[in-house]
Structures are given as C-alpha cells and as structure tokens.
Amino acid sequence: MSDRKDLLTSAHWGTYRVETRDGRITSMRPFEADPDPSPIGPGILDVLDGPTRIKRPAVRKSWLEQGPGARGDLRGQEAFVEVSWDEAERLVAAELDRVRGTHGNGAIYAGSYGWASAGRFNHAQSNLKRFVNCVGGFTSSVNTYSFAAGEVIVPHVMGHFYPLVYSATSWRSVVAETDLFVAFGGVPLKNGQIAQGGVGRHVQRDAVKAAAQAGVRFVNISPLRSDVMEEAGAEWLAPRPSTDTALMLGLCHTLLAEGLQDGDFLARYTTGFDRFAAYLTGETDGVAKSADWAAPICDLPADTIRDLARRMVKGRTMISIAWALTRQDHGEMAYWAAIALASMVGQIGLPGGGIGFGYSAVNAIGNDLARLPMIALPQGQNAVTDYVPVARITDMLENPGGAYEFDGQHRTYPDIRLVWWAGGNPFHHHQDLNRMRRAWTKPETVIANEWCWNALAKHADIVLPCTVPLERTDIAMTNRDPWLARMDKAVEPPGEARDDHMIFAGIARAMGVEEAFTEGRTPEEWIRWIYDRTRQSAAEREIELPSLDELREKGTHQIPPSEEPHVMLKGFRADPDGHPLDTPSGRIELFSEVIAGFGYDDCPPHPAWLEPAEWLGQGRGLHLMSNQPKGKLHSQLDHGAHCRSLRPDGREVLSLHPEDAAARGIGDGDRLRVFNARGWCLATAALSDGVRPGVVQMATGAWYDPAVDAEGRPGCRHGNPNVLTLDKGTSRLAQGPIAHSCIVEVEIDRSGLEPAPFAPPQLVTRGR
C-alpha cells in the first residue's frame, strides 16, 4: 500500500488520524476537534503484528486429532495446530452440522457478549448472529454485564431503561440550573473516555468543569475520591460499598420524618408511595429506616445523612447513580431506591433536576444529541427462542436442564454443546473465573473469532483469526454520539487474518448458505446499504446526513445538537396523562404489584435494604472494588504498550489506604497476593488516602494468566480480579452480575510466582 498521511479511524475511545509508510503505521494522532483525547488508541500499534497476533486459523491439538469433546480439560493448556482456511471452514461446517443434527440448534450458544470494535458493518456479534441465524439459530443471551439489574427493574418502575439512560438531562441543563449534584459512584472521567461504536469529541471533562465553574456543588458518594475530578472541589462521602440503598433509605426517611417530601409530585406522578412509606417508617417490619438506622450500616454519621437530605430539597438537585451500583448483590434495590429518593425530592422532569443514570459512565451521557436512528447490519431471524440472562453462563454450562427464575418466569438451562464467541472475552468479563474455567471444559466445541492470543483464544478449540479496524474499511456511527467518521483500511492484516464478515461468508459457502448470508452483496455494497438506510431514516426525522461519498470526502460529520438543552421526562412532567410511562399505572411505581406477584424474597415489591452476600458489615476482610480500568477498555489492549507502561512489573496495581497497608505490613510498591476462598491473584501495592479504609481497588482487564500456587490453589498471575469475584445473580428478578460485592484479604506475596509474558500458545504447523 502506498504511503498515506490522510487516513482516519475510529474506536470506542476516540477518532484518530493515521499515517503510514511502507505498509506500516507511523503515527496515530487524536482527532483535532476532540478537546480531551484518550491515550488508549495508539496502544494498539506495537501489537498489531507481534507474537500475540493470531495469524492463521488454529485448532486445539486433541480436538483436531480426536474430534469434538476430546479433552475439554486441556483447554487453555494445550498446543494448537495451524490449519488452512479451507480446512478450518470444513471443520466448523461439519461440527455445526453434527451439533444441529444431533442436538438441535438450541445446543449452540452464540450469546457472545462483549464490546468488539467500532465500525458498523464489521461489528463482530452482528455478523456472528446473522450467520448462525442462516443455519437455524442459537441460544442467545439477554441484557448486559454493565447494568442488568437496571435493565430489568427500571422498566417495572419507569417503563423503560435504555431510553432513560441515554436521554439523561443534558450537561447544558445541569450547568444552567443545578445547585447540588449528588453522585452515587461519582462522575468518573476515566469511564467517559469510552462510548460503544465510536467517539468524536470527549465532552465529560469540560462538562464537569463548566458545572463546577457555574457553581454546581458536587457530592461524590464513592469509596474513591478520584471518582469526581479534583477541580470540581467535590465533597467526598465514602460509605461502605454496596450500602447505598441503606443510605438512600436513610435520606428518604429523613425527608418523610421532616415533612420535606414533595407530596404533589408523589401524588401526581407516582403510585405506591404509601406502601413504601410504611416500610420507611417501620410500620411493616418494626424498623424505621432512619438516618440513625442507616448510619452504622453505611458507616457514615447520621447527621451527615440528615444534612444531605435537607440540602437536597433546598435547591435544584440532580441525583446521578453510577452503573456500578447495579453490579452488586441486590443491585435492583439501589436503582429503585434512587428513583424513590428522586421522586420524594420531586424534581424529575425539571431542568437540571431529578435523576440521571450514570453521568460519565460513557461519553454519551448528558450530551444533547438529536438521536441518530441508525440502521445496523440485519441479523435475520433466530429460530431458537431460548436465551439465558447473560451473566448466568457458568450456571448454564454446569447445570443443563437445571431450573432457574428470571423476571417472573420459571426457566430451565439449555444443554449447550457448542459455544461460539466473536467480539467479547468471557475470561475477562465473567465472575469467579476458576469456576467458569471448570464449567468451560464441558462443551464439546468452543469456537472463537479473535485477533490476539488472549485467554479466550487459548481456551477455544477452533480459533479463527480476525482483523482489527485499522485493517478494514468501515463507517463509525452510533445512535449515542453526534459524530460519524469514515474508517480507512490503513494497513494489510498480518498473516491470513480476515474480517469477521469474510470469515462467516467463507463458512456459509462451505455450508451452502452463502447467498443467504451475503444476499449477494460485497462488503462495500453492505457498507453503502447500511449507510444509505441510516441516512434515509435520519431524513425522516429531519436529521440531514451527507451522502456516503460526501462523508468519505469530508472524513467526519457532526449532527448538530438540539437547540434547547434536553430534560429527561419533561413531557411526562408537563402532562402525565398525555405522556404516561409504560408501567401498569402509567406512573413511577414505588410499589410494584407485578413484582409483588413474583413473590421473590430476594427482590421485594418496593425499594428495600437487603444485606449483600459479601460486604464490610460482616466484619472481616477488605472490600474489593474491581472497577473499570483507566488505561484501556476492559481487556482490550492490555498487552499493548500503553497498558504495559502502567504496570512495569507485569502485575495489576492494587490501591489501598495506608492504614490497611500498615496493619498488614505492606509498603508502597510491594508485591501482593490478593485472595479469598475462590482464588488468588498477584498485584502491586499503591498506597493512597483517596481510597476509603477497608476498601481495595484493582481495575479489571488484566489478561487472565492461570496458574496454581504451591498448595495447588488456582489463581491468576497478572492480576485479573475476576478470580476473586462472586458469581451469583443480583436476585431472581434480574440475575445480573455482582462483581462489586466481593470481600478479599491481602498479604505480601511470597509465592515466587511471576506473571507470564504475553505470548501465544505452542503452535504446530502442518498440512499447509
């Protein structure tokens, strides 16, 4: 390819200008319109073509020699044999036919959760699902790891979830109107670096700065001081993790006891307040949920709670509730309690007031976006209707035919024989990885489309090497970011790596369904099809987009913001009968007859405090906060130069309070072992008074690097905190993941173990 200086690419963490010389990328510079670019992007450059790159299709040795089901226990430990694409396609086609023929399509799990890469056409999951639907369908997954508890509870309470999350009252409105910004889980700018599908401009830092300058007072309720940027001068309250529901109930009780609740709002816009109030006062269970009751649970002074409640009704108050609060035991209750609190304050639907679900959880929250009605690659029809809640994967693999409950349904787990992942990494995202790894030995076949030899690829039987965005042509556009960008193929992929779409097209050909999969379109024709349809549907909503050729010529296009700052649920506030919520009552449900009908003791029909499975109130250990990593997106690019520079000795950093360190004889920079009954991992100590005492913080994303210690206990040498986290559903309602409710202990590491270097498995070449 010729030398170029004018190339563009987009990623979940930003848009970049790319230059090439002699077929290699020489620079990757942030898009000039971005005021706060992320350093994550260029972290890909040194690993595009290194030893960790998957260059040819590869099959696990026992599987290739002995067939499906052979030695699943060796997944993650065995050599791979490199094969030609012809052979890989034949093997996959024959195996799909065998599984479909013997067990039916329901035995194929292609729920394949994960973030994949930006680029509308090459989106890995869309292509996987479209392909498997062409051959009879698959067992799918529902909801996310991000906020499953919210995805299930909020529709019962407010009628919808996604439309509310992504139509948060805009930062412009907050800057203009808000007095007090109460942020449960903070407004973490590290998270605002990201938005699924691509980012044009990073807006969160400027927004928080502008709000602080306009006099908005921030209250950061979080175990980490850094969850609200320093310049905002936030007040920091650090309750015990996983106790926010008790804190919110204490706030609600104070409002009620002092007659400060907005009775008109409650009467006009909510139902069931009397039932909730009876719980608050203790009429139903003899325990008043007062500030004095909440104080010892949260470990905050009762006066602080009372004072905050009073301040919340003095002026315009925005309550932000981080997505993290769903990823804890009974995460449903934290969201419901926050909605109840906001209802009592009575400012939902007013400029700068009410509630927002996760400001700065991603870059999109709080931007004034005229929503782009984006058309994705059509996935076709799935003939299999069965699904699992996404975080129940280990339960599903362990327990085929087993009964479970989910959102009012009695369901049974399918009997999965074949697992296919493209664009996600369960060895990153799932909890209790040692347990998942044992369950992972059970399916007869695991197929993974991947570009790098991470733990997912190493734990597969058939590995299909894919490209990354810098190696393919695409369009970045999402309904959550106002920027569209051309994505150029900057370099040729190394080895025989192929675009996901072409991988599936090849297998479709081998199975005689190529026409159904491609509909006779080339990739270029698909890109045009997706773009032209999006442009057409945008035009129907009076959003004017350039033609594809014009966009390619210009490089990027910004959809102008709405004229008026957006206010969530403004229409409902103005006219609750004309714009009712999609709940049985049309109102905000502070008591739900529907949930009452489910009879779940772990999810009562109104916001309530239920003790989490693991928390500091049990009087032992340290609370592990495995939050989102600052230097990467989940496990992506953990092996790249940027992340490696943040972890000089190869171990993930664990931050802890100096008091907790002193009690254990730990100094800054010491090598640590973090452990509990489920496993252990290695880490390096960073002492910080910005962490609440009793809490240790260790971001997710270190590539799972399994090993056993001298006592034969399994763990991870790089420091993947998911060897420690508990794998249990939030409740029978949502069955969401609870990574943030986890107790560990920490000590100086004397194992002598070192993280393994990033490397491929043993590769055998034959028959090519």
Ligand X SMILES: Nc1nc2c(c(=O)[nH]1)N[C@H]1C(S)=C(S)[C@@H](COP(=O)(O)OP(=O)(O)OC[C@H]3O[C@@H](n4cnc5c(=O)[nH]c(N)nc54)[C@H](O)[C@@H]3O)O[C@H]1N2
- Residues at the site binding ligand X, with contacts judged by CB under 6 A: 114-117, 122, 124, 145-146, 184-186, 188, 190-191, 193-194, 221-224, 227, 241-242, 244, 322-325, 327-328, 358, 361-362, 422-425, 428-429, 449-452, 454, 456, 466, 500, 625-630, 633-636, 700, 721-722, 725, 739-740
User: 223 vs 629, which CB is nearer to Mo ion?
Assistant: 629
Cβ distance to ligand X smaller for residue 116 or 595: 116
DSSP classification of residue 231: G
CA 613 from chain center: how many Å?
22
The least distance separating ligand X from the CB of residue 572, rounded to whole angstroms, comes to 25
Q: Spot the catalytic one: 16, 63, 115, 453.
A: 115
3-state helix, strand, coil in the chain (%, to 5): 35, 20, 50
Which of ligand X, Mo ion, none does 493 bind, CB closer than 5 to 8 A by kind?
A: none
If the CB atoms of residues 146 and 360 are measured against Mo ion, the closer one turns out to be 146
Smallest distance from ligand X to CB 709, Å? 21
CB 169 within 8 A of CB 564: no
CA quadruple 728, 731, 733, 737: dihedral sign: negative
Q: Which residue number, 454 or 478, has a Cβ lying nearer to ligand X?
A: 454
> Residue by residue, what is the 3-state secondary structure of 546-572?
CCHHHHHHHCEEECCCCCCCCCCCHHH
* 63 carries an active-site annotation: no
Of 344 and 681, which has the nearer Cβ to ligand X? 681
Which residue is nearest to Mo ion, using beta carbons?
Answer: 146
Task: Write the CA distances from 739 to 336, 627, 665, integer angstroms.
Answer: 19, 9, 27
CB atoms within 10 A of CB 403: 9
Query: Which DSSP category does 737 fall into?
Result: -
Tokens 């369960």 correspond to: 426
Q: Is 271 helix (H, G, I), strand (E, B) or coil?
A: strand
Q: Which does 428 bind (CB under 5 to 8 A by kind): ligand X, Mo ion, none?
A: ligand X
Smallest distance from ligand X to CB 573, Å:
26
Nearer to ligand X, 88 or 266 (CB): 88
250 binds, among ligand X, Mo ion, none (CB under 5 to 8 A by kind): none
Q: Among Mo ion, ligand X, none, what binds residue 83 when CB lies within 5 to 8 Å by partner kind?
A: none
In whole angstroms, how close is the CB of 703 to Mo ion at the nearest point?
18
| Shortest distance in whole angstroms from residue 623 CB to ligand X | 8
Active site residue 113: yes
Q: What is the 3-state secondary structure (H, E, C) of 432-494?
A: CHHHHHHHCCCCCEEEEEECECCHHHHCCCEEEEECCHHHCCEEECCCCCCEEEEECCCCCCC
If contact means CB under 5 to 8 A according to the sort of partner, which of Mo ion, ligand X, none does residue 394 touch?
none
The contact set with Mo ion (CB under 5 A) reads 146
Count the helices and strands in the chain (H runs, E runs): 26, 32
Q: Among 16, 63, 85, 113, which one carries the catalytic annotation?
A: 113
275 binds, among Mo ion, ligand X, none (CB under 5 to 8 A by kind): none
**Which residue is it, tokens 């931007």?**
367
Which residue type sits at 277?
A: A
CA angle 97, 100, 102 (to 5 degrees): 100
Distance CA 184, CA 219 (A): 8
Nearest 5°: CA angle at 459, between 455 and 463? 95
Minimum distance of ligand X from residue 626's CB (angstroms): 4
Q: Residue 511 and residue 519: Cα distance in Å, rounded?
A: 15
* Nearest residue (CB) to ligand X, 271 versus 449: 449
**Minimal distance, residue 716 CB to ligand X, in Å:** 12
Question: Which of ligand X, Mo ion, none interacts with 716 (beta carbon under 5 to 8 A by kind)?
Answer: none
Binding partner at 673 among ligand X, Mo ion, none, C-beta below 5 to 8 Å by kind:
none
Place of tokens 């040498």: 717
Closest approach, Cβ 631 to ligand X, in A, equals: 7
Check if the beta carbon of residue 28 is closer than 8 Å to that of residue 18: yes
Q: Closer to ligand X at the Cβ: 164 or 194?
A: 194
Task: List, in order, residues 6 or more apart from 136 with CB less than 8 Å away.
Answer: 100, 105, 383, 384
Q: Which residues are catalytic?
A: 113, 115
